[in-house]
Every structure is written in C-alpha cells, then in structure tokens.
Homo-oligomer: A and B are copies of this chain.
Amino acid sequence: MQLNETHDPGLRSWVPSANAQDADFPVQNLPFAAFRMKGEAAFRIGVAIGDAIVDLSHPGVAMLLEPQIAEACRASTLNDLMALGPAAWSRGRLNLSRALRAGNAQADRVGAALLPQAGAEYRLPARIGDYSDFYTSIFHASAVGRLMRPDQPLLPNYKWIPIAYHGRASSVCVSDSEISRPIGQIRVPGADAPAVAASQRLDYEVELGVFIGVGNVRGQPIPIRDAWKHVFGVVLLNDWSARDIQAWEYQPLGPFLSKSFATTVSPWAVTAEALLPFRGPWLRAADDPQPLPYLQDLAERSSGALDIVLEASIQTAAMRAKKLAPVRLSRTSSRHAYWTIAQMVTHHTSNGCNLRTGDLLGTGTQSGPTPGEAGSLLELTVGGREPLAVSSGESRTFLEDGDEVCLRGVCEREGFARIGLGTAIGRVLPVHAPQ
C-alpha cells in the first residue's frame, strides 16, 4: 500500500460540501457504509462524500466500477467487497475518486446516485463473525492498574504480549442504537453477598474498531509484513462497560456481562488506504523490550502507529433541555497505542486462529499520557472518586440515564487533506425491564 493520486491534497470534488475545511468526508476519504433512506426496507452500500452518500448500487455508479467490484457493491453489507482484497479495494477507490473530482465529465451520471446523509439510517457495515478487543494503550492499562493494584500498575506481560479478550459480536450495534443500562450481580465493597441491581458505574471507552477484509485459514498465521493487507478499514468504537459488574465477575476468566450488553461503532468504515498519510513510528521507550520477532517489522516500526485524534463528548438530559452543546470529556490520539493494528492482527493469528471477513478487532481504550487524554470515566474520575464537572451545575462520576456520549475521530497532517471518521453516538436509557 502506498500513497497515490487519491491522496493528493489538491483534489476537490464537484460535491461542494466535500470541500469544506471541516468536512469529515472530502474526496480524499471515501469511507464505506451500509445504509438505507428512512422508510426504506432494504440496506445498500454507499460511499460518503461531503454531506452526501453515493449509492453504489445505482447503475450510473456501478458502470464506473469493475464488474466484480460492482457486483460486491450490490450486497447489503460490505462483506463481499471486503473479501475481494486490497488490490480490488484500491482500484475501486481510485475509480470513485476520479468520478467524484471537480471537473469530472461523469458528474451528472454519478450525481443521480447522490443521497443526503441527513435522510439516511445505517446498519453495521459488515456481518461481524467474531469481535475481539485488545488493550493496546499502555496509559489506559497503567491507569486502570493503579486503581486496582497500586503496587504493580502494569502487569509483567504487558510490554511483551498484545493483551486481548474475545468480545461479544451479537451486541455490537451501529451509532444511534439504544443503550439500556445493564443490570447484574454487583457486590458493594464490604458486603458479604452480591445483589442484583442496575449498574451504578456505567462507563464508555474510546476505541478504534478494525474491520478485517480478507481472513486467513485456520492454522496459517498472518506474518506481520502482510498484516495491513488484511485490514479493510477503521471505525470508532465505544466499548460500554459496567465497572461494578466487571469488578465482581472478572476473576478468573475476564470481563463477560460487564461488556456484552452493547458495543457501539460508527457507520462509516474509513479505508486503510485513506489513512495511509497518518501513519508514523510506533511507540516504544528506549528501555522497553523490543517486540518478539513475530511482532517485528521494519516498515511497521516506522509507520505502524496511526495518528487519529479521538474525542469523547457528553450531553446530559439537562443539557439537552437547556439547549447546551455537548462538552468534551477527553481528547487523545491513537498514535499513543503501545501495540499497532498490524501487531494485533498478527498476534491474533499467531496460534493458528482464523480471522474471517467482517471480523472486528477493537484497540481497547485509547488513552494518552496526560490526564485530559484518558478515554474513559474510570480514568477521568480516578475510579469515581473525583467527579468531573460537565456543564453548569452538573458533574459526573459515571454515566447517568439520558447521557449521550459521542465519539469523534479526525486525522490531520500538514500537506494532506483532513480525514474524518464521523461519529459514534449512544444515549443511555434506563434499565431494560422491571426487576
């Protein structure tokens, strides 16, 4: 994968909104989603351009694409396109880029396939086979570790092995899906026995989600030099977490119901190719151990990290009533991750485990080195001990009913067009049923 004409910062689109300074979806981005217009039954595949969607099932667009790619784009999720592999993705992206550039002679034909994002609704970009969640931020791992083990915040394995757990695929949902507060077994500190109650320590986690394009055969690991070829694209991911349920259930097999009630992802999968200009050297201190050989690669060392600026904001019910804008909770970059996306892919398959098209890998909470860069309330409020002021008169330790959490991701680099990931939004509703 290398920079090509689609990355040219001078490109402009004949779709005016794509040329705005703060557009998430300029012609250099071209992310993919599964969408339908409100009131429609069936979902289609589209590409975002400015505030519009190019309907890839439209005959006027399909004829611009290679037949195999056009056929894959007539599906209702991205799985078929994902399965075609990086060369096909790149060729299709080039065709779409050319068709959407200012001055393109086919603008009229493609224009007939444009739909407004404002009238669209989304489903998950792909049918997700398995969802695995990593723990790539050393700052998050250390902060959580300090709360639980002040004497040994970082476990001895952290700098050697990309820690991860299997997540729950069934409850991954797209932005704007309802998030009911979970109930579960909770043992209040000092109590003899647990009780069943609504979670009082409901949290969000700012993550990236990585969609696997082409999988691997069981028993055939993916070498790190090939790992990026298996990555279709990236979304925002909010790994909602019930800290009180987690504290009681997680020994000895890890988090289960504290995570599996819901995981929210943004609808637009930003392709690995579009993100290419925003890669840089991986994080590793001089006295850290070098990654073991299977996680080592010269190219990856110099360009494995991905600089996506990630923001979380909150709008409470009271703020909505007063028409107050959401306020930012934190801002960091995924470049602070200790383990890269390629290392996640390679480690995951190193035992022979097979990834499949549409599988989702989470990066784990992305936190940076300073306090304002923490990607969860658990960290921002020091385990709930230091409430955070969120607006006039309100503060939070953990999430309350009515709170809406919005994640955003943006890539900016001198000499390149700004690339946005859109938003992943979820509003906390009361518990799902009377107890």
Quick check: B433 and A221 within 8 Å, CB to CB? yes
- Interface with B: A113-121, A154-162, A370-378, which one? A154-162
Q: How far apart are the CA atoms of A111 and B144 in the complex, in Å?
A: 64
Q: How far apart are the CA atoms of A430 and B122 in the complex, in Å?
A: 46
Which of B166, B250, B251, B255 has a CB less than 8 Å from the CB of A260? B166
Tell me if A285 is interfacial: C-beta within 8 Å of chain B.
no
A292 proximity list for chain B (CB < 8 A):
185, 194-196
Tell me if A400 is interfacial: C-beta within 8 Å of chain B.
no
Which of B130, B184, B187 has a CB less than 8 Å from the CB of A351? B184
0 or 1 for each of A347-364: is its CB under 8 Å from B? (1 = yes): 110111111100100000
A14 proximity list for chain B (CB < 8 A):
none
Tell me if A339 is interfacial: C-beta within 8 Å of chain B.
no
Which of B166, B180, B294 has a CB less than 8 Å from the CB of A168? B166
Instruction: List residues of A (102-151) whose CB comes within 8 Å of B's CBs.
Output: 129-130, 132, 135, 148
Q: How far apart are the CA atoms of A184 and B294 in the complex, in Å?
A: 10
Quick check: A432 and B221 within 8 Å, CB to CB? yes
A195 proximity list for chain B (CB < 8 A):
292
Which of B171, B220, B254 has a CB less than 8 Å from the CB of A433? B220
Q: How far apart are the CA atoms of A160 and B191 in the complex, in Å?
A: 13
- Taking A289-B193, A432-B220 as contacts, is the C-beta distance between A161 and B351 under 8 angstroms? no
Interface of A is mostly: loop
A180 proximity list for chain B (CB < 8 A):
219, 352
0 or 1 for each of A197-224: is its CB under 8 Å from B? (1 = yes): 0000000000000000001001111000
A359 proximity list for chain B (CB < 8 A):
170
A167 proximity list for chain B (CB < 8 A):
166
Quick check: B248 and A161 within 8 Å, CB to CB? yes
Quick check: B254 and A254 within 8 Å, CB to CB? yes
Tell me if A293 is interfacial: C-beta within 8 Å of chain B.
yes
Tell me if A163 is interfacial: C-beta within 8 Å of chain B.
yes
Tell me if A178 is interfacial: C-beta within 8 Å of chain B.
yes
Q: How far apart are the CA atoms of A289 and B161 in the complex, in Å?
A: 39
- Taking A129-B170, A166-B167, A196-B292 as contacts, is the C-beta distance between A257 and B157 under 8 angstroms? no
Identify the closest chain B residue to A178 (Cβ). B219
Interface range on chain A: under 10, 10 to 19, 20 to 34, or 35 or more? 35 or more
Tell me if A51 is interfacial: C-beta within 8 Å of chain B.
no
A185 proximity list for chain B (CB < 8 A):
160-161, 292
Q: How far apart are the CA atoms of A248 and B249 in the complex, in Å?
A: 21
Tell me if A256 is interfacial: C-beta within 8 Å of chain B.
yes
Tell me if A183 is interfacial: C-beta within 8 Å of chain B.
yes
Quick check: A248 and B157 within 8 Å, CB to CB? yes
Quick check: A164 and B432 within 8 Å, CB to CB? no
Identify the closest chain B residue to A165 (Cβ). B253
Quick check: B257 and A347 within 8 Å, CB to CB? yes
Tell me if A182 is interfacial: C-beta within 8 Å of chain B.
yes
24 residue pairs of the A-B complex, CB under 8 angstroms, read A132-B168, A157-B248, A157-B251, A161-B248, A163-B249, A165-B166, A165-B256, A166-B256, A170-B215, A170-B355, A173-B218, A180-B219, A180-B352, A182-B351, A183-B350, A183-B352, A184-B350, A195-B292, A218-B261, A250-B252, A254-B254, A257-B353, A258-B351, A260-B353
Given contacts A165-B253, A221-B433, A252-B254, 10 further A-B contacts (CB under 8 A): A157-B187, A164-B253, A165-B254, A166-B166, A168-B353, A184-B350, A196-B292, A245-B351, A257-B351, A257-B353
5 smallest CB-CB distances across A and B, nearest first, come from: A254-B254, A166-B166, A165-B253, A182-B351, A219-B432
